[in-house]
């Protein structure tokens, strides 16, 4: 409370007969006038009306009131009305309290005497509170009109384009040497069976040439600090050893490189050289050297440098730490597949002909290790029979408890494409349930089952092994609909494994994003605030939020971009000032508050707690928790609440 | 001569139970006038000290209402803090010989005005049965 | 010019405060130098009648809580006669460990003692033995009379006794302190705790563990290991003998200025912080299970401070025994 003595005016509304019909309004006024610091008390038939508001303004000026209580309806109804009225008379709006004697008394208590008594208590409590209120100004903070997008897959690319097209500069950070994410590895996408690269690469090119987008590939966000409107991030840009601007993609370097390593893009089904381009349409459009495998640092090999026509190779390149200031951050780091070698019964990692779904995508891809022919990895023999195992490690308390949503659809897609290319082939799908809830998805499944004659077996697979005599893969499962053990011999087994999130916990904690027990990022509320996190200014989209398909990912990415645009559209962020404040002299540095605050709004400065005004939402949990009572909530001080309790009970 | 009437303080969180109380008002749901509400931003703002303050100043019962767990709390998890505090405080009251039933915690969402009325009425009946907190000149402790 | 005199009188003691004072060497010598030690039954052979024969007392040190009618009589008498009255040790200051017995009616305590003590003789028929004084409501000294200086600790450490002697020298003649001087810091232990991490990471208390359940890491904050340490609510100023022995603070220095009730603040802050990262996963049931791990609430929260706590005052008020607020 400011140092001056409170001079409180109490205004009791009749609200026609709504209040006055039950409550003895005159008595309430009479009693109110006797309360400490009350210098004016009157009643009127409709306080919210223009004449009613005039009475308040007049009293403020004439009686030099510095605090006002309106006993009427609830703040939800008319707080704004009366706040503007007192402001018009020169009084700060936070010096106003309302006592809801209508909703909390006259409308719910038929006994006039009791209703009046309760109304007097409510007024007494409101007077006690307003006596402790301070005049406050809204909190303003400048906004940096720039956004950071972490993750260069389809989610990150979509968000970056939406923002850039709206005139907002974007920094796009991608961990691997090229943007494109998992979608670039896919052959076709369900249910339309569009070629994935065909719909993705135009977007990749668009984002690459957009003047407002700055791409940091082969990079990672290693530090983040600050708050909404003013984040400072540190980006580690790993050395590429190839100058992007000079690389012409001629490929001579690749031809002469003596080192081979498993190809990440082809999910280790084939090899690449130590100097390589992840895939032909990679953005940035340049080669990259894999330092871990390259022989240059071992024996001084420089074969690639000697043949490069533009001298684009630079062994003196080094990692760089770049700092950027942004106003908002969108996290779109996507997923990895569940490591199938954990499913010991299925033999992944033991038998080369047991593969996972992304590996099958690479086999199907025209640009993949088999140029689109469906051949089995062990000996290159064409696949005639394939078994798909759905829910491999999903919906299972031993591995992943949750459903990854897309596996039923992508398996159906895999089976369809297989049958298209190998019309005389046989495909089997072991499933528990079929989840096909999207637009046209149920019809897609039906088509795969009926038109393409893929065999769907409802039951789980017990074991997968190779028959040593014939070399075939043997899949032993159970058909619950016929109640019989089923054995299928096949050339190839594809495990439909689930999606696991890949956001590193340290980065999540730096951004103060909550992760659920599986590691997926937590939204504030699934329906009311689906792309926002607990940290103001940090948004999420794509599979990092929860498993979803590309259509949903793109929609959510646009939603995150829209929320970001909303935030960055004004020069200033304006906030209600009803936040918590720390008295440094009382703070002992016990840190209890830091653990209680759900928004991570409390940081330590010179050994004492400090509340970040922009992040604090004013819940007051820290106020209660502080063992030294060093934190207080503006206009909801502990002593105000104590006075209110006394007013109500005595 | 007047008979003893239970004095009950209710701490309502602004976003859920406070809204329910407003709805109860709008719906003209009649409930016990013994319960006087104090609206706070969050059930997590209710200090155990404040509950004891209420009892020390004459309250016979205290009820704290907040948003449903796990996800309704406007401030993410204030309701969980309220739960932990009230859970142990009730036991502590028992340790000091004060009936834990005099302190109650309920989750009431913004639309559960009927539930709020039921909670207020039931709690008033409970306190009436327990009798006044203080053995004073007029109170008849049962 | 006569030296000011000083008396040391016992309420319900264990003897530890006497030992502490005797051990304090330098401080004791300063006292003996500056004051005439008129009464200290543990060190000087004398009787209560000798005490009561004193005309005036400059400094009275009271150790122990007020348990019997005799203690109460002595306390009131001392307040009347003395210029400066000192509550020495946590028992006098806050009630101390025996304060936990304040919740048991005196009759019950006597009955339990009678029922559990084995003796071949009950002392009946023996003449000349003094009768046991009657037990009253157990109270800390400040709840019986006004106190000028409070020296907390169980027992007060040497550092604090030295400080006490300094404080005392300010009041050697003339004025009493206008409000009680507490010879302890006014900030929490955490302010000076050697285990406080330099970079102030968020405090997380995953669950509640008893001290025997965990190999306590000497360099890490107790709370972070699930051990309930009272450091955040206890005044600093002690020598950290507990913390340096790898045991959590149990709160003998008493609550921070402005608070009397340790339990209510502990529930509000530290207990509300338990398992915060897993609230939605555990829900009320899981959280209750973790909180149930704390079996002895009174012993943990109010080990030294029960008679001065708000809840105790509330209980007294509820029973109509007076001293409600």
Q: What is the DSSP string of C116-168?
A: H---S---TT-TTPPPPPPEEEEE-GGGTS--SEEE-SSSPPHHHHHHHHHHH
- Determine the Cα–Cα distance for residues C276 and A595; give it in Å rounded to an integer: 7
Q: In chain C, how long is the greatest CA-to-CA distance? A: 75
Instruction: State the best of A103, A114, A526, A576 to mutate against chain B, taking most chain B CBs within 10 Å.
Output: A103
Q: Are A382 and A353 in contact (CB under 8 A)?
A: no
Two structure tokens written together for A563 = 């929320």
Please give the span between the terminal C-alpha atoms of chain A, in angstroms, as a whole number.
24
Of C18, C2, C9, C7, the residue nearest C54 (C-alpha): C7
Q: Are A17 and A107 in contact (CB under 8 A)?
A: no
> Do residues A159 and A560 touch, judged by C-beta distance below 8 A?
yes
Largest CA distance in chain B: 49
When CB atoms are compared, the residue of A117, A534, A623 closest to B76 is: A534
| CB of C53 closer than 8 Å to CB of C46 | no
Cβ neighbours of A51 (radius 10 Å): 10
- Helices (H), ranges, A516-633: 550-568, 592-596, 621-625
CB environment B90-115: b (16+ within 10 A), e (fewer):
bebbebbebbeebbbbbbbbbebbeb
For residue A430, give the 3-state DSSP assignment: strand
The whole-angstrom separation of Cα A489 and Cα A471 is 10
Q: Report pLDDT for C111.
A: 85
Please give the torsion angle defined by the CA atoms of residues A219, A225, A226 and A230, in that order, rounded to the nearest 10 degrees.
-10
Contact: C190, A589; criterion CB under 8 Å: yes
Sequence ranges of the domains in chain B: 11-109
Distance CA C237, CA C152 (A): 10
Asked if A108 lies within 8 A of B19 by C-beta distance, the reply is no
Which of A292 and B134 is assigned the larger pLDDT?
A: A292
Write the DSSP assignment of C39-77 as a string of letters: EETTTS---HHHHHT-S-EEEEEEESBEEEHHHHHHHHH
pLDDT at C124: 61
**Tokens at A505, concatenated:** 């916990």
Q: Does B115 touch chain A (CB under 8 A)?
A: no
CA–CA separation, B107 and B120 (whole Å): 13
Chain A to chain C, count of Cβ pairs less than 8 Å apart? 71
**Can you tell me the distance from the alpha carbon of A1 to that of A7, in angstroms, rounded to the nearest whole number?**
12
Q: Which residues of A touch C281 (CB under 8 A)?
A: 517
pLDDT of residue C319: 82
**Residues from chain C contacting residue B135 (CB–CB below 8 Å):** 318-320
Tokens 């009379």 belong to C145
Residue range C5-105+136-182 forms a domain whose CATH class is: alpha beta
C-alpha–C-alpha distance, residues A616 and A614, integer Å: 6
Structural tokens at position A334 = 């996507």
Residue of C187, C200, C276 lying closest to A588 (CB–CB): C187
Q: Got the DSSP string for C106-118?
A: HHHHHHHHHHH--
pLDDT in the model for residue A2: 56
Hunting for tokens 């200033």 — which residue is that?
A572
The Cα–Cα gap between A648 and A127 comes to 11
Give the per-residue pLDDT at B2: 67
> What does the alpha-carbon distance between residue A152 and residue A217 come to, in Å, rounded to a whole number?
8
Length of chain C: 325
CB A153, CB A542: distance < 8 Å: yes
Tell me what pLDDT residue B135 has: 66
C303: closest CA of chain B, how far (Å): 14
- Alpha-carbon distance B75 to nearest alpha carbon in chain A (angstroms): 6
Touching partners of C (3+ C-beta pairs < 8 Å): A, B
Number of other residues whose CB lies within 10 A of the CB of residue B9? 28
Report the C-alpha gap between C138 and A191 in whole angstroms.
80
Which of A249, A234, C114, A593 lies closest to B81 in space, CA to CA? Answer: A593
State residue C154's pLDDT score: 95
Which stretch of DSSP H or E encloses residue A474?
A: strand A473-479
Residues whose CB is less than 8 angstroms from the CB of residue A63 and which lie 6 or more positions away in sequence, other chains included: A7, A9, A39, A40
Query: Which residues make Cβ contacts (< 8 Å) with residue C17, sequence separation at least 6?
Result: C63, C64, C88, C89, C91, C155, C156
Q: Cα separation of B96 and B48, whole Å?
A: 15
Tokens (6 digits) for A399: 């591995």
Query: Digits of tens for pLDDT over chain C (325 positions)?
Result: 578 999 999 999 999 999 999 999 999 999 999 999 999 998 888 888 999 999 889 999 999 999 999 999 999 999 999 999 999 999 999 999 999 999 998 888 888 887 887 766 665 656 666 677 788 889 999 999 999 999 999 999 999 999 999 999 888 776 788 889 999 999 999 999 999 988 888 899 999 999 999 999 999 999 999 999 999 999 999 989 999 999 999 999 999 998 889 999 999 999 999 999 899 889 999 999 999 999 999 999 999 999 999 999 999 988 864 333 3
E strands in A249-338? 260-262, 271-273, 275-276, 288-289, 320-326, 328-331, 335-337
How many residue pairs from chains B and C have C-beta atoms closer than 8 A?
A: 94
Token pair in block for residue A624: 């209660």
Residues of chain B found within 8 Å of residue A118, distances taken between Cβ atoms = 33, 36
Instruction: Give the whole-angstrom CA distance, residue A570 versus residue A89.
Output: 29
Q: Which residue of chain B is at minimal alpha-carbon distance from A625? A: B47
Strands A580-582 and A631-633: antiparallel
Q: Which of A209, A155, A159 lies closest to A552 in space, CA to CA?
A: A155
Sign of CA dihedral A182, A187, A193, A197: positive
- Look-up: residue for tokens 């069976």? A193
Q: Are the C-beta atoms of A448 and A418 separated by less than 8 Å?
A: no
B21 contacts chain A (CB < 8 A):
yes
pLDDT of residue B69: 85
Say whether B53 sits in a helix, a strand or coil.
helix
The 3-class SS string of A60-124 reads HHHCCCCEEEEECCCHHHHHHHHHHHHHHCCCCHHHEEEECCHHHHHCCCCCHHHHHHHHHHHHH
Distance of residue B59 Cα from the nearest chain A Cα, in angstroms: 6
- DSSP β-bridge partners for residue C151: C88
Q: What are phi and psi of C267, to 5 degrees?
A: -65, -45
DSSP A161: H
Q: 3-class secondary structure for A352-377?
A: CCEEEHHHHHHHHCCCCCCCCCCECC
Instruction: For A138-155, give the DSSP string.
Output: -EEEE----EEEE--SHH
Q: Is the pLDDT of residue B139 over 60?
A: no
- Asked if C238 and C230 touch (Cβ cutoff 8 Å), the reply is no
Q: Comparing C-alpha atoms, which of A59, A86, A212, A99 is closest to residue A149?
A: A212
- Averaged over successive runs of 10 residues, the pLDDT of chain A (650 residues) comes to 83 96 96 96 96 96 96 92 96 96 96 96 97 94 96 98 98 97 96 94 96 98 91 96 96 96 96 96 96 94 95 95 97 97 96 97 96 95 97 96 97 97 97 95 96 96 96 96 96 97 88 86 87 92 97 98 96 90 94 91 92 91 95 95 94
Looking up tokens 């707690």 gives A609
**CB of C316 within 8 A of CB of B56?**
no
In this complex, which of B24, B36, B57 lies closest to A122 when CB atoms are compared? B36
Place of tokens 């610091």: A37
A338 vs chain B: nearest CA distance in angstroms? Answer: 28
Instruction: Give which of A105, A136, A111 is closest to A18, Cα–Cα.
Output: A105
Give the separation between CA C222 and CA C246, rounded to whole angstroms: 9
Nearest CA in chain A to B51: A645
Contact A641 B47 (CB under 8 A): yes
**Pairwise CA distance, residues A544 & A522, whole Å:** 9
CA distances from B89 to A16, A419, A637 (A): 44, 67, 22
Distance from C-alpha of C84 to C-alpha of C57, rounded to nearest angstrom = 8
Burial zone of A78 (CB within 10 Å; 0-12 exposed, 13-18 middle, 19+ buried): middle
């Amino acid at each position: 409370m400011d140092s001056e003595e409170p001079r409180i005016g109490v205004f009791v509304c009749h609200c026609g007969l709504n209040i006055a019909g039950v409550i003895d309004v005159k008595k309430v006024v009479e009693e109110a006038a006797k309360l400490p610091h009350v210098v004016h008390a009157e009643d009127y038939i409709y306080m919210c009306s223009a004449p009613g508001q005039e009475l308040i303004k007049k009293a403020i000026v004439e009686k030099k009131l510095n605090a006002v209580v309106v006993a009427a309806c609830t703040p939800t109804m008319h707080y704004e009305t009366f706040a503007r009225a007192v402001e018009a008379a020169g009084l700060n709006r936070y010096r106003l309290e309302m006592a809801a004697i209508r909703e909390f008394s006259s409308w719910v208590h038929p006994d006039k005497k009791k209703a009046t008594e309760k109304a007097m208590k409510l007024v007494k409590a409101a007077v006690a509170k307003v006596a402790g209120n301070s005049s406050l100004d809204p909190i303003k903070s400048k906004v940096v009109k720039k956004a950071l997008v972490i993750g260069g897959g389809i989610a990150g690319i979509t968000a970056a384009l939406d923002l850039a097209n709206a005139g907002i500069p974007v920094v796009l950070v991608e961990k691997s040497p090229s943007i494109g994410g998992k979608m670039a590895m896919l052959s076709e996408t369900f249910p339309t069976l569009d070629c994935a690269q065909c719909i993705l690469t135009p977007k990749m090119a668009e984002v690459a040439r957009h003047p407002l987008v700055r791409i940091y590939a082969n990079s990672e966000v290693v530090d983040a600090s600050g708050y909404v409107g003013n984040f400072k991030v540190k980006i580690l840009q790993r050395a590429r050893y190839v100058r992007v601007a000079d690389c012409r993609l001629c490929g001579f370097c690749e031809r002469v490189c003596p080192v081979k390593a498993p190809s990440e893009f082809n999910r280790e089904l084939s090899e690449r050289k130590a100097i390589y381009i992840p895939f032909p349409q990679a953005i940035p459009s340049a080669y990259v050297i894999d330092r871990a495998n390259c022989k240059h640092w071992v024996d001084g090999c420089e074969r690639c440098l000697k043949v490069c026509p533009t001298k684009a190779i630079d062994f003196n390149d080094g990692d760089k730490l770049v700092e950027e200031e942004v106003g908002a951050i969108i996290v779109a780091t996507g997923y990895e597949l569940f490591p199938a070698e954990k499913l010991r019964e299925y033999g992944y990692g033991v038998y080369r002909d047991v593969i996972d779904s992304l590996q099958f995508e690479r086999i199907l891809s025209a640009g993949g290790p088999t140029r689109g022919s469906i051949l089995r990895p062990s000996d290159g023999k064409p696949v005639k029979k394939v078994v798909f195992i759905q829910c491999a490690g999903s919906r299972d308390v031993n591995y992943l408890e949750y459903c990854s949503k897309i596996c039923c659809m992508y398996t159906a897609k895999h089976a369809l494409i297989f049958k298209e290319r190998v019309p005389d082939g046989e495909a089997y799908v072991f499933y528990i349930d079929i989840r096909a809830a999207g637009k046209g998805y149920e019809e897609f499944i039906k088509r795969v089952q009926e038109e393409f004659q893929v065999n769907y077996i409802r039951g789980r697979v017990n074991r997968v092994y190779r028959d040593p005599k014939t070399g075939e893969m043997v899949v032993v499962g159970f058909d619950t609909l016929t109640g019989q053990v089923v054995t299928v011999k096949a050339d190839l087994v594809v495990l439909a494994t689930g999606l696991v999130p890949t956001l590193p916990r340290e980065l999540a904690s730096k951004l103060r994003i909550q992760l659920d027990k599986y590691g997926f990022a937590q939204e504030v509320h699934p329906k009311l605030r689906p792309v926002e996190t607990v940290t103001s200014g940090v948004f999420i989209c794509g599979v990092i939020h929860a498993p979803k398909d590309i259509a949903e990912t793109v929609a959510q990415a646009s939603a995150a971009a829209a929320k970001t645009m909303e935030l960055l559209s004004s020069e200033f962020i304006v906030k209600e000032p009803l936040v918590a404040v720390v008295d440094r002299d009382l703070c002992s540095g016990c840190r209890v508050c830091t653990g209680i605050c759900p928004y991570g709004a409390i940081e330590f400065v010179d050994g004492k707690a400090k509340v970040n005004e922009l992040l604090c939402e004013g819940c007051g949990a820290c106020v209660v928790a502080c063992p030294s009572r060093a934190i207080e909530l503006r206009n909801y001080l502990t002593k105000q609440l104590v006075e209110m309790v006394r007013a109500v009970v005595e | 001569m007047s008979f003893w009437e239970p004095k009950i303080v209710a701490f309502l969180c602004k976003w859920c139970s406070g809204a329910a109380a407003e709805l109860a008002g709008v719906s003209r749901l009649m409930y016990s006038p013994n319960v006087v509400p104090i609206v706070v931003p969050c059930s997590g703002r209710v200090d155990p000290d404040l509950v004891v303050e209420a009892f020390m100043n004459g309250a016979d019962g205290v009820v704290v209402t907040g948003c449903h767990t796990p996800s309704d709390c406007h401030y993410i998890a204030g309701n969980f803090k309220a739960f932990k505090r009230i859970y142990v405080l009730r036991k502590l009251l028992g340790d000091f010989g004060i009936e834990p039933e005099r302190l109650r915690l309920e989750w009431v969402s913004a639309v559960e005005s009927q539930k709020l009325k039921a909670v207020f009425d039931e709690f008033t009946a409970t306190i009436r049965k327990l009798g006044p907190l203080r053995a004073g000149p007029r109170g008849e402790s049962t | 010019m006569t030296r000011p005199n000083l008396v040391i009188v016992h309420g319900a003691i264990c003897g530890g405060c006497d030992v502490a004072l005797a051990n304090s060497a330098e401080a004791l010598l300063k006292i003996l130098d500056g004051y005439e030690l008129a009464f200290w039954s543990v060190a000087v052979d004398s009787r209560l009648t000798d005490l009561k024969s004193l005309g005036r007392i400059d400094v009275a040190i009271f150790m122990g809580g007020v348990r019997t009618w005799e203690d109460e009589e002595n306390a009131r008498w001392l307040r009347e006669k003395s210029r400066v009255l000192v509550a020495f040790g946590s028992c006098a200051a806050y009630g101390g460990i025996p304060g936990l017995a304040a919740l048991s009616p005196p009759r019950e305590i006597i009955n339990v003692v009678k029922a559990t003590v084995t003796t071949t003789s009950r002392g009946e028929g023996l003449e000349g033995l003094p009768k046991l004084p009657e037990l009253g409501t157990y109270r800390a000294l400040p709840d019986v009379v006004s106190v000028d200086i409070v020296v907390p600790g169980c027992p007060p450490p040497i550092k604090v006794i030295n400080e006490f002697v300094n404080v005392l020298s300010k009041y050697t003649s003339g004025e009493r302190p206008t409000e009680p001087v507490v010879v302890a810091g006014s900030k929490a232990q955490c302010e000076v705790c050697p285990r406080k991490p330099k970079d102030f990471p968020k405090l997380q208390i995953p669950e509640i563990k008893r001290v025997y359940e965990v190999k306590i890491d000497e360099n890490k904050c107790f709370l972070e290991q699930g051990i309930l340490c009272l450091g955040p609510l206890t005044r600093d100023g002690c020598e950290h003998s507990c913390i340096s022995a790898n045991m959590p603070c149990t709160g003998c220095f008493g609550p921070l200025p402005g608070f009397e009730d340790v339990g209510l603040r502990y529930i509000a802050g530290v207990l509300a912080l338990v398992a915060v990262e897993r609230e939605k996963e555990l829900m009320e049931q899981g959280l209750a299970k973790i909180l149930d791990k704390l079996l002895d609430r009174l012993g943990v929260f109010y080990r030294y401070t029960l008679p001065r706590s708000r809840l105790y005052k509330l209980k007294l008020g509820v029973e109509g025994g007076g001293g409600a607020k």
